[in-house]
Amino acid sequence: MTKKILLNNDVSIPVIGLGTYKIGMNDDETYRAVRTALDKGYRHIDTATLYMNEKPVGKAIRESGILREDIFVTTKLWGTDILNNRIQMAFEGSLKNLGLDYIDLYLVHWPVKGMVSSAWKAMEDIYIDGKTRAIGVSNHLIHHLEELLKDATVIPAVNQIELHPYLIQQEIIDYCKGKGIAPEAWSPLGSKKNSLLQDETLVDIAGKHGKSPAQVVLRWNIQKGIVTIPKSSHEERLAENIDIFDFRLSDDEIKQIDKLDRNRRTGVHPDFIEF
């Protein structure tokens, strides 16, 4: 069983989940990967409207034989649905695609310039309706959060951002924690665009613990209080990535990993996203 932390509204979230972006080339592969992950012990699945895989992801969850309340499901609102003023409709569409009565966490996928506050108001309405247990944001920088918090009546439960040892974003982490917003890492392994997992420091620390560099990075996330959602399409890696609860990094090892920061993004800078 994976560990959980409490969000700011007392909903608990497993500290490690499964990222599903491009997890399968088609619906069958996606379905199989999510079923495998659930069999291996994952109880937190991250999807998004953008990934076009809510249907097989939802089917895998529904057919897993695991109680719905034991699986934490996140999906996300895409920018064009904000721009076209159809946020409620987009949420209903995600519920329908997933085939679920409720989701656990609904996120604004990226901030839409000039619409950060208005989008959040619509998210608050969805939350009040009760079909999502928590609402949050993704890819929000401090200035986006400041804009949002000016008028907010609900504090975002989560801010999901690109975060790995080459892009630590400590200022945002500190800001979020100060406001009761849980930081969550996307592309925690640096995605396949990065050579992060060959980094000598990580290889060295991994060797000392008899673990892999991926396990060291994921352990570093959770010891820093950061929820993490690695993706893998391979059974053995799915098992490896969740097997991180039987060792502990020392404070010195955490500091060594923190020093790897080089502000290297694999994704778009949130101020320059286009829809």
Choice from 181, 197, 205, 206 touching ligand NAP (CB under 6 A):
197
According to DSSP, the β-strands at 44-46 and 72-77 are parallel
CA separation (Å) from 202 to 50, 90, 194? 32, 41, 14
**Residues 119, 112 contacting (CB under 8 angstroms):** yes
Instruction: Report DSSP state, residue 269.
Output: -
Provide φ and ψ at 177, rounded to 5°.
-60, -40
Question: Per CB under 6 A, does 267 bind ligand NAP?
Answer: yes
Does residue 160 bind ligand NAP (CB under 6 A)? yes
Has 21 been annotated as catalytic? no
Question: For tokens 């949130």, what's the residue?
Answer: 270
Q: If binding is defined by CB under 6 A, does position 53 make contact with ligand NAP?
A: no
Site for ligand NAP in 100-129 (CB under 6 A): 109
Please check if 109 is assigned to a binding site.
Answer: yes
Q: CB under 8 Å to 203, separation ≥6 — which residues? A: 213
Coil/strand/helix, residue 23: coil
Q: Which stretch binds ligand NAP (CB under 6 A): 5-13, 17-25, 150-158, 201-209?
A: 17-25
Among 7, 13, 16, 20, binds ligand NAP (CB under 6 A): 20
Q: Is 46 in the site for ligand NAP (CB under 6 A)?
A: yes
Q: Write out the two tokens for 46.
A: 């991250």
Determine which residue in the list 186, 221, 222, 244 makes contact with ligand NAP, applying CB under 6 A: 186
| Active-site residue set | 51
**Interacting residues with ligand NAP (CB under 6 A):** 19-21, 46, 109, 138-139, 160, 186-192, 197, 212, 214, 229-234, 237, 240-241, 267
